[in-house]
Amino acid sequence: MRTIIFRTIAPFLTALMVLFSVFVLLRGHNEPGGGFIGGLIAASALAIFGIACGVASVRRAIYFHPMSVSAFGLFLGALAGVLSFFKGQAFMTSQWLIFDFFGVEIALSTPMVFDIGVYLVVVGAIGSIALALEEREID
Amino acid sequence: MAGSSVSVDLTQAMATAPVAAGDWLVVAPALITMLGGSLCLMLRKNTDLQPKVGIGFLGLLVLANLALLIRVLDHGVITMVMGSWLPPFGIAFTVDTLGAMLSLIGSVVAFCAGVFGAATIDSTGRRYGFYPFLLLLMTGVCGAFLTGDIFNLYVWFEVLLISSYGLLVLGNDRIQLDGAVKYGVLNLVGTNLFLIGTGMLYGIFGTLNMADLAQKVAALEDPASGTLATVAALYFLAFAMKAAAFPVNFWLPASYHTPNVVVSAVFAGLLTKVGVYALIRVFVLILPASRGYLSDVISLVAVATLLTGAFGALAQTEIRRLLGYLVIAGIGSMLAGIAVGSTLAISGAIFYAVHSIIVMTALYMAAGVMEMMGGSYDLRKLGGLYQKSAAFAAVFLVLAFAVSGLPPFSGFWPKVMLVDAAFSDGRSWLGAAILVSGFLTTLAMGRIWIFAFWRGGPEGTPDGQTAPVTAGTALSEAQLSGSAVWLPLGILTALVIYFGLQPEWMLELSTQGASGLVEPLGYLRSVFGVQG
C-alpha cells in the first residue's frame, strides 16, 4: 500500500481522524459519542498511518507502547471514581466543576475523566492489536 | 447535565446519606488490584521493580480484605451503591461474611503466589505480564465475591477469565496454547449459559440485584415453577463448568499442568472456587426452592465428581495432573454440601472451600518445589526427596493429610460437617461417597509420598538403597536457597495447621456465612435499608 498518493495523504488523514476522535470523545456526555467510539476512531487512525508509513514510524509517533497507554487509561478510569471519597459519597459518584470561561460555560466532571480513561484503554488495546497484525504482514 | 435549571427530586433515585469512609473498604479490593495491575502494566519493561510493586499491592489487598472482614463482623452486611444510584437500578456491592471471608483467603493465596512467582517467573514471564495479570485476576475474583448484582457477577467472571487466559499462555509454549484452547472454549460456553440464564431471570423479574431477586422469588406463589427451574438448571450447568464438576471436568486436568507452576497454584486455589461460590450464592440465596428441586441431580453430580476426582488422581503419574484431579474431588465435596442445603451443610461447603483454596495452592507450590529438587514432575523419575530435605517432607505430609481430610489438619473439620449433614439428611450414600473419596485421596497422596520421598531414587532403585544425591541445576538451587519459595509455602502450611488445631474461628465464620444466606434478612436489609 505504499503508493505515493496514500503516503502523502495518510499523515493528514491520521491527524484529522485523531482530532475528530477527540471531538467525538468530548461531545459524548450528552450526545452520541464517547470514549469507546472515540478510541476506535483514534485506533483506526493509527492503523491507517501504519499501513501507509510502516509500523515503526507509528510506534515512534505515539512514543509510549500502546499497552502502556491502555494501562494508563485503566488507571485514570479507576482514579476518576475515587474523587467522591473526599465528599463522603459512594464510589463513582459524579463530581462536577462548572465555571465560566470568557462567557462560555465549561463543565469539567469525573465522568469525563472516566471517559478519557476508556478512550485510552480502547486506543491502546485496539491499537496494539492492529500494529501487531500489520507488523506480521510486513515481515 | 448537572448545571441544568430543572430541579429533580433525586432522593428517589440516589443515595443521599453520607457514606462512611470505612464503607469504602467494600470497593477497596477491586480498586487496589485495578490500580496496581495497571501500574504494573505500565512498568512492564522494568522487570526488577515489577515484583516489588506487584507484591506491595497484593499485600495492601490482604490488609484491605482483613479490614473489610472485621468491619462486616462488627457492623453486619455492608452495601455500597456505585455512583450513588439506588438498587434495584444501580449496581450494588453487598458484602456479607461469606464474601468477605473468601475474598480475604483468596487475597492471602494471591499474595503467597506473588511472592512465589518472584522466584519462579523469569524476566520473560514478567515482561509478558505475570504481575499485571495476577492483580487483574484478583480484581475479578474479589469483585465476584463482593458484588451484589448478578449481571455484575458475570462481568467479574469475564475479568478473571480474560486475566486467566493471559496467565495460562505466559511463555507461549505449544502445550500451553493447547491447554488454553480447551480451557477457553469450555469456559466461553459456560459463560454464555450464565448470560442466557441471567437474561431469562431479568425477563421474569425485571431486576438483577441479588437481594431484590431473592425477595421477588420468595414472594412468588410457586417458587419452584418450571421457568425458574430452567434458569436454575442453566446456572447449575454454567457454574458446574467453572467449578469443573463431572461430566464437564475434563478441561481442568487438560490445562492445569501446562502453565508455570505458580499459575497452576493460583488457578487451582481460586478459579474453581469462584464457581462454587456462585453456585452457593445463586442456589441458596436467590433460588432456594429450585435448589430443593434439583438437589437429587446435584447429589448425583457430587458423587460422580468425588469419585472421578479420586480415581483420576490414582491413575496419574504426573504430579500436577494428579493434583488437578484432587481439585475436582474437592469440588465434589462442596457440591455435596450444596445438594443437602441445610445450614450445617452449607457452612461445611464454605469451610471446605476455604480449606481447598489454601491447601490446593500449597500443594501445587509443593509440586513446584519437588520439581526444583528432583528435576521432574513425573513420579517415576522422582525419588529420595526425604534425604534432600526432611523439613520439606514434613510440610508435604501435612498438606497430604489435610487434602485427604485426616485430622488434625484443616480438611478434617469441613468433611466431618459435610458427612454429618449428609447422614442427618438421609443421604447416607452421599456421606459414604465423601468418605470413600477421602480414602482414595489418601492412597493417591500416599503414592506420591512413597515414590517421591521414601524411595531412594528414580524408578528401579532397589529397596533400602539410595541413589547418590544429585545436585540440581544452578537455577533450581538458586530458587530453593531464597526465601521467596519457602515463605509462601510456610504461610499456607501454617494456615492449614492453624485451621486444623483451632477450627472454632473458621467454624463460626462459615456458620455465620451460611445462616446469612439461608435466612437473608440482614442481606436484604442492608441493600434496601439504603433507601430509608
Q: Which of B42, B44, B53, B139 to mutate to test the interface with A (most CBs of A within 10 A)?
A: B42
Residue in the structure block whose three cell numbers are 461474611: B97
> Is the CB of residue A101 less than 8 Å from the CB of residue A14?
no
Task: Give the closest-approach CA distance of B245 to chain A in angstroms.
Answer: 34
Structure confidence at residue B497 (pLDDT): 94
Structure confidence at residue B274 (pLDDT): 95
Do B2 and A94 make contact, defined as CB atoms within 8 angstroms? Answer: yes
In chain A the first and final C-alpha atoms are separated, in Å, by 15
B344-370 tens-digit pLDDT: 999 999 999 999 999 999 999 999 999
Structure confidence at residue A93 (pLDDT): 86
Compute φ and ψ for B210, nearest 5 degrees. Answer: -65, -40
B70-91 tens-digit pLDDT: 999 999 899 998 888 888 778 9
Do A105 and B3 make contact, defined as CB atoms within 8 angstroms? Answer: yes
The tally of CA atoms less than 13 A away on the side-chain side of residue A130 is 23
Close Cβ partners of A23 (under 8 Å, ≥ 6 residues apart): A33
Compute φ and ψ for B287, nearest 5 degrees. Answer: -120, 60
B29-84 tens-digit pLDDT: 999 999 999 999 999 888 889 999 999 999 999 999 999 999 999 998 999 988 88
Question: What is the C-alpha separation between A19 and A51, in angstroms, rounded?
Answer: 19
Give the DSSP letter string of B238-289: HHHHHHT-TTS-THHHHHTTSS-HHHHHHHHHHHHHHHHHHHHIIIIII-HH
Structure confidence at residue B359 (pLDDT): 96
- Give residues 37 to 56 of A whose Cβ lies within 8 Å of B: none
Do A92 and B83 make contact, defined as CB atoms within 8 angstroms? Answer: yes
Structure confidence at residue A137 (pLDDT): 56
> Is the CB of residue B149 less than 8 Å from the CB of residue B183?
no
> Is the CB of residue B240 less than 8 Å from the CB of residue B309?
no
Structure confidence at residue B470 (pLDDT): 63
Residue B517 CB coordination number (10 Å): 23
Close Cβ partners of B502 (under 8 Å, ≥ 6 residues apart): none
Do A74 and B34 make contact, defined as CB atoms within 8 angstroms? Answer: yes
Average pLDDT, chain B: 89
Helix H or strand E segment including B307: helix B288-315
Task: Give the closest-approach CA distance of A40 to chain B in angstroms.
Answer: 20
What does the CA dihedral A36, A38, A43, A45 come to, rounded to 10 degrees?
Answer: 160
> Is the CB of residue B213 less than 8 Å from the CB of residue B169?
no
- For residue B378, pLDDT over 50 is answered with yes
Average pLDDT, chain A: 89
Which grid cell sits at B457? 531414587
Compute φ and ψ for B377, nearest 5 degrees. Answer: -100, 5
Residue in the structure block whose three cell numbers are 433460588: B287
pLDDT, mean of residues B407-422: 92
Structure confidence at residue B2 (pLDDT): 47
pLDDT, mean of residues B304-326: 94
B227-280 tens-digit pLDDT: 888 999 999 999 999 999 988 888 888 888 888 899 999 999 999 999 999 999
Structure confidence at residue B532 (pLDDT): 38
ipTM score for this prediction: 0.90
Q: Tell me, what amino acid is at B111?
A: F
Residue A65's closest chain B neighbor by CA? Answer: B42
Q: Which residues on A lie below 8 Å from B83 (Cβ)?
A: 90-94
Do B2 and A81 make contact, defined as CB atoms within 8 angstroms? Answer: no
Question: What is the C-alpha separation between B115 and B404, in angstroms, rounded?
Answer: 27
Helix H or strand E segment including A98: strand A96-101
A27-68 tens-digit pLDDT: 887 888 889 999 999 999 999 999 888 888 899 998 999 999
How far are the Cα atoms of B36, B140, B252, B462 from residue B169, in angstroms, in the given order? 21, 18, 15, 40
